Amino acid sequence: MIRNLLLISNSTNAGEEYLAWPRTHIKDFLSGFGVRNVLFIPYAGVNLTASSVEKSFDLYEDRVKKIFREMGFLLHSIHRESNPVVAVNEAEAIVIGGGNTFHLALAMQEYGLMEAIRRKVFRGIPFVGWSAGANVACPTMKTTNDMPICEPPSFNCLKFIPFQINPHYLDVNPEGHAGETREQRILEFLTVNRETTVVGLREGCLLKVIGDTMNLVGSRPLRLFRFGMEAQEFKENENLDFLLAQS
C-alpha cells in the first residue's frame, strides 16, 4: 500500500519553542520526497485569538509558515483557497496541525476533504500530522483527548492506518486528581470497540510510516492496547509492521 506518513504525538515539549523537537524529522521526511510546497490544514486551531476562528487560522498559518520557511519549504493554508478540494488535488504535501479534533473533523467533512486527502495520500504524497492531525489519520477520531466543542456529522476519519492513536499519552493523573487515568479511558473505549487496537503515543514521539513499514521515533516507548490483553510496550527500533497489517 502506498502511504508516506509522519504522525506526531505533540508539537512542543515543555520548555521548548514551538515545533522544536519534531523539526528535524519533518524536514528530513519532506525533503526525502523532494517537497517544496506544503498545503497546511489549520482547522483545529480555533483558540489562537478570541476575535474569530478565521483570525485564528490566519495566525496559525503565520506561526507554522515561519518555521517551515526556516526548514526550506513554502507553506500556504487551505483556508485561503476558494476551492479546498482543488487545493488538495494539486498539493505536493499535506500538513495538518494540532488543536481541537472535533472542529478539525467538522471542517474537513464540510469541505469534502476527508475523501480528497485520502485519495491524494494513497497516491503517494507525504502527509504530516501532529496531535489532532495524527488523530484524523486514524479510522475514527474516537480516541482524541479533546472536548467536543462542535458536532461533526461523523467520527470517521482518513483511515491511513488501521489502528487508533491516543496522542499525548500519559501514564498517571496529576496529584490530587480523582478522575480516570488515560489507560482507564482507553480500556473503556475498548470495551465497546473490541476489535480495535489503540496506540498510546507519548509526547516527544512519532510514528513514521512508509508503505507497509512503520517505525517509532522517540526516547519513550509506545503503549499498545487491545481488548482482553495486557497492555504492551514497544521501544524505538522494535518491529511495528504488524500493526499496519490489521484489517
User: Which pLDDT does position 47 carry in this prediction?
Assistant: 78
Give the separation between CA 152 and CA 169, rounded to whole angstroms.
Answer: 24
Catalytic residue among 9, 77, 168, 177: 168
User: Pick the catalytic residue: 9, 56, 79, 146?
Assistant: 146
DSSP labels, 26-59: HHHHHHTTT--EEEEE-TT---S-SS-HHHHHHH
| pLDDT value of position 1 | 78
Helices (H), the chain: 23-31, 53-71, 84-89, 101-110, 113-121, 132-135, 182-192, 241-244
Collapsing DSSP to helix, strand or coil, 60 comes out as: helix
Residue 162, judged by CB atoms within 10 A of its CB (0-12, 13-18, 19+), counts as middle
Q: Residue 231 contacts by C-beta under 8 Å, 6 or more apart in sequence?
A: 183, 223, 224, 225
Give 46-91 pLDDT, tens digit per residue: 976 656 788 899 999 999 999 999 999 999 999 999 999 999 999 9
- Kindly report, residue by residue over 137-167, the tens digit of the pLDDT: 999 999 999 999 999 999 999 999 999 999 9
Residue 174 confidence (pLDDT) above 70: no
| Dihedral angle sign, alpha carbons of residues 26, 95, 6, 91 | negative
Half-sphere exposure of residue 138: CA atoms within 13 angstroms, side-chain side: 28
Tell me, which fold does domain 4-164+202-219+237-244 have in CATH? Rossmann fold (3.40.50)
Average pLDDT over all residues of the chain: 94
Model pLDDT, residue 50: 57
Q: Provide the pLDDT for residue 53.
A: 80
Q: Is the pLDDT of residue 247 over 70?
A: no
pLDDT band at 186 (very low <50, low <70, confident <90, very high): very high
- Give the span between the Cα atoms of 121 and 22, in whole angstroms: 21
Is-contact 93 128, C-beta < 8 A?
A: yes
Question: Per DSSP, what are the bridge partners of residue 166?
Answer: 200
Q: Are 121 and 158 spatial neighbours (Cβ–Cβ below 8 Å)?
A: yes
User: Cα–Cα distance between 159 and 102 in angstroms, integer?
Assistant: 16
Ordered by start, the domain boundaries in the chain are: 4-164+202-219+237-244
The residue annotated as part of the active site, out of 9, 11, 77, 131, is 131
Dump pLDDT digits (tens) for 197-238: 999 999 999 999 999 999 999 999 999 999 999 999 999 999
Active site residue 146: yes
What Å distances lie between residue 103 and 24, 41, 108, 142, 206, CA to CA?
28, 12, 9, 13, 23
